Amino acid sequence: MIEEQILETGKDTREMVINMGPQHPSTHGVLRLELTLDGEMVKQCRPNIGYLHRCFEKYAESVEDYAKVIPYTDRMDYVSAMNQEHGYVIALEKLLEVEVPERVEYMRVIVAELQRIASHLLGIGTFGLDLGAFTPFLYCFTEREKILSIFEKATGARLLYNYMAVGGLMREIPEDFKSDTADFVKTFRPKIKELNDLLSYNKIFIDRTAHIGVLPKDVALNYAASGPVLRGSGVEWDLRKDDPYSIYNRFDFEIPVGKGEVGTLGDCWDRYIVRVREMEQSLRIIEQALDGMPDEGDVKEGIPKRIRPKEGEIYMRTETPRGELGYYIISDKGASPYRVKARAPSFVHLSMLPAISKGALIADMVAIVGSIDIVLGEVDR
């Protein structure tokens, strides 16, 4: 099991260049980090990506229908597929200037927030696993299974759904969806507390993550960080509140922000605890949405027969569990888009890695990469 290969520089060997990856011990994907080490300390870190490049943007230009791009958007960040679809369909709806029925909007918000919880559970579980805590990983996955079962009933798939369509949804909402989700919300709240007891405030975990990978606020903004990474550095910025889309302005929820409680502001622990607290807020949104969702309404009636936007372009950004996902779509009146660019949050966050890992030890590199919570599908598209 050789996870690193050593590349001899052929020069003075006080510093050693090693490769961490492309097969990474944690579940982030195929990422190659070239580390220049001086003993145990990392002097320089150069991420090398492109191992999972699947030509999403070229496909989007060559399929004969805007709607056929939606399954590909699922597959970019395969862990939070609903949020990827959400951004794309909203962008198209703005270009086509179509109205979306109320029931569809509420349903979209509910699945997007459920997906946010599922994605955070995976991010938190694998972060603990990287640091040697084997058990919280399995507890998180038990909860994630419940969410995936709800999705399976609603959409037919567990991980990659192809559920949202322009102006509507692809399938009718099952009858017990509301009660299933309400049950889940009820059982999940105490689990967050259990997770906090087991992992978040554990002294060893704090020793491994506090004061590590500190991201100062102005560096974060200059690097266009977003999502929990930006909020962990103390900036109160959430697209659902600051640039609202869909019906998020109807819900009452808070934005958890890192405060440097157990370490420096903007360290790995702050980013981690922002994710834990975000799950709680997502539960609030889901409860309010379940209350407000109309019970009558056809989800498929708003879907246009042909999607042919007029000439123009749009940049639409939404808040995914990893940060700001932006779709830049240029339309030239054709059947397929002229250019689709997906601005992935993990791509931007990974470019920050050399800046925040100065002076880290090798063991800290794993903690930092885990706390940024990247998914390589998104980085490479």
Touching other proteins, residues 207-226 (CB under 8 A): 207-208, 219, 221-224
State the number of binding residues for other proteins (CB under 8 A): 76
Residue window 17-46: x/- pattern of binding to other proteins, with contact defined by CB under 8 A: ---x----xx-------------x------
Q: Does 184 bind other proteins (CB under 8 A)?
A: no
Q: Does 55 bind other proteins (CB under 8 A)?
A: yes
Q: Does 326 bind other proteins (CB under 8 A)?
A: yes
DSSP code per residue over 302-367: T--S-----SEEEEEEEEETTEEEEEEEEE-SSSS-SEEEEE-HHHHHHHTHHHHTTT-BHHHHHH
Q: Does 193 bind other proteins (CB under 8 A)?
A: no
As a whole number of angstroms, the distance between CA 268 and CA 265 comes to 9
Q: Does 72 bind other proteins (CB under 8 A)?
A: no
Q: Which of residues 274-303 bind other proteins (CB under 8 A)?
A: none
Contact yes or no for 56/72 (Cβ under 8 A):
yes
Q: Does 148 bind other proteins (CB under 8 A)?
A: no
- The CA–CA distances, whole Å, from 94 to 24, 100, 183 equal 40, 10, 35
Q: Does 110 bind other proteins (CB under 8 A)?
A: no
Tell which one of 15, 17, 22, 57 touches other proteins (CB under 8 A): 57
Tell which one of 19, 23, 44, 351 touches other proteins (CB under 8 A): 351
What region does 364 belong to: left with phi over 0, alpha with psi -120 to 50, or beta? Answer: alpha
As a whole number of angstroms, the distance between CA 110 and CA 79 comes to 16
Q: Does 53 bind other proteins (CB under 8 A)?
A: yes
Rg (CA), the chain: 21
Sort 310 into a burial class: Cβ within 10 Å, 0-12 / 13-18 / 19+. Answer: exposed
Q: Which amino acid, residue 124? A: I
Q: Does 309 bind other proteins (CB under 8 A)?
A: yes
Binding segment for other proteins (CB under 8 A), chosen from 197-205, 262-270, 278-286, 299-307, is 197-205
Q: Which of residues 221-250 bind other proteins (CB under 8 A)?
A: 221-224, 235, 237, 242
* 109/131 with CB nearer other proteins: 131
CB of 175 to other proteins, least distance (A): 30
Q: Residue 3, SS3?
A: coil
Sign of CA dihedral 351, 34, 84, 293: negative
CB of 40 to other proteins, least distance (A): 8
